[in-house]
């Protein structure tokens, strides 16, 4: 029987019954971390995850007591699509959360991916340099173990020299469409004060099994993360 402590690098692993409970638990954690950061430093810098898994969390978060005027929102990655395109990660976040809470628009820092991956990554890296370290990075994981838009085989993953000082990277060959993206780098993600993964669905089980076996998939390269999984994703449910 595998237990949750087998997940390498994990600061904590919580297995929830379903996406609703996972979303509620992570929403609560975000609100707590926001309150702590604002009390300590007057601001909460958070990078939101893309994809679909975080949607329920964001929908629940909008009902929690968060001092949005002191929250600065960034994105862990963005797809290179026209501004406003429904398939962009920032649009999902707007629909589920940011368009529903009293956060000043100046506090929302979209990745300008409509400018193309190289230009957008350079601009975003400059912005992140002014605020690093993030207080929280929310992260998803793909079925291949990617996180943000750091996919297996990405040269930034294998080249610490490249990655050490770069906070945002262009991606041109993502296997998950669109191929062109912008991603926060491992350094930007790993230097966040807190990292929280949201992983749900049986489709993620294989990647988690590989990580449990010590495969250095991109998601496994995030150190000291808090993993929130649903039962369908957790391989332990097999044993
Ligand atoms: C994206 C995301 C990506 C996502 C994972 C998981 O652009 O799709 O940034 O990293 O977090 O692919 O996606 P799901 O949550 O939809 O399974």
139 φ, ψ to 5°?
A: -135, 145
Give exposure, 28-44, as e/b (b: 16+ Cβ within 10 Å).
ebbbebbbebbeeeebb
Query: Which tens digit of pLDDT belongs to each residue from 29-69?
Result: 999 999 999 999 999 999 999 999 999 999 999 999 999 99
Task: Find, among 106, 144, 177, 201, the residue nearest to 98 by Cα.
Answer: 106
Domain holding 142: CATH number? 3.40.50.1360
pLDDT (0 to 100) of residue 158 = 67
Residue 237 covered by a domain:
no
What does the alpha-carbon distance between residue 177 and residue 183 come to, in Å, rounded to a whole number? 14
Helix, strand or coil, per DSSP, at residue 77? strand
Q: Which of 140, 199, 222 to mutate to test the pocket of ligand 1 (most atoms within 8 A of CB)?
A: 140
At 2, the pLDDT band (50, 70, 90 cuts) reads very low
Query: Which tens digit of pLDDT belongs to each residue from 80-127?
Result: 999 999 999 999 999 999 999 999 999 999 999 999 999 999 999 999
User: Which residues, other chains included, contact 168 with Cβ-Cβ below 8 Å and sequence gap of 6+?
Assistant: 111, 120, 121, 122, 124, 125, 128, 182, 183, 184, 185, 188
Mean pLDDT of all residues in 148-161: 78
The runs of H, that is alpha helices, within 152-214 are: 155-158, 160-164, 186-190, 205-212
pTM of the predicted model, to two decimals?
A: 0.95
What does the alpha-carbon distance between residue 74 and residue 137 come to, in Å, rounded to a whole number? 9
Least confidently predicted of 8-17, 129-138, 158-167 = 158-167
Residue 63 covered by a domain:
yes
CA of 172 to the centre of ligand 1 (A): 16
pLDDT (0 to 100) of residue 144 = 97
Q: What's the domain range around 121? A: 2-196+218-223
pLDDT (0 to 100) of residue 1 = 40
30 φ, ψ to 5°?
A: -60, -45
Q: 10 Å Cβ neighbour count for 176? A: 14
Residue 100 covered by a domain:
yes
Ligand 1 proximity of 204 Cβ (cutoff 6 Å): no
Total domains in the chain come to 1
Residue 40 covered by a domain:
yes
Mean pLDDT score across all residues of the chain: 93
What does the alpha-carbon distance between residue 154 and residue 160 come to, in Å, rounded to a whole number? 12
Question: Quick one: which atom of ligand 1 is closest to the CA of 147?
Answer: 10
């Amino acid at each position: 029987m595998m237990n949750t402590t087998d997940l390498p690098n994990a600061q904590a692993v919580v297995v929830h019954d379903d996406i609703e409970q996972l979303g509620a638990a992570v929403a609560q954690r975000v609100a707590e971390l926001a309150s702590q950061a604002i009390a300590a430093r007057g601001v909460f810098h958070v990078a939101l995850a893309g994809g679909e898994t975080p949607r329920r969390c964001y929908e629940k978060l909008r009902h929690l007591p968060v001092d949005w005027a002191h929250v600065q929102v960034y994105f862990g990655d963005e797809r290179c699509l026209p501004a406003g395109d429904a398939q962009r990660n920032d649009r999902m976040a707007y629909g589920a959360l940011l368009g529903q809470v009293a956060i000043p628009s100046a506090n929302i820092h979209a990745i300008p991916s409509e400018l193309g991956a190289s230009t957008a990554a350079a601009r975003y890296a400059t912005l992140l340099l002014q605020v690093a370290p993030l207080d929280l990075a929310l992260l998803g994981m793909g079925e291949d173990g990617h996180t943000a838009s750091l996919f297996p085989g990405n040269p930034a993953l294998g080249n610490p020299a490249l990655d050490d000082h770069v906070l945002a990277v262009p991606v041109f060959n993502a296997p998950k469409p669109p191929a062109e993206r912008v991603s926060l780098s491992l350094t930007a993600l790993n230097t966040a004060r807190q990292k929280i993964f949201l992983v749900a669905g049986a489709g993620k089980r294989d990647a988690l099994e590989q990580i449990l076996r010590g495969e250095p998939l991109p998601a496994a390269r995030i150190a000291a993360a808090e993993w929130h999984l649903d039962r369908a994703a957790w391989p332990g449910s097999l044993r």
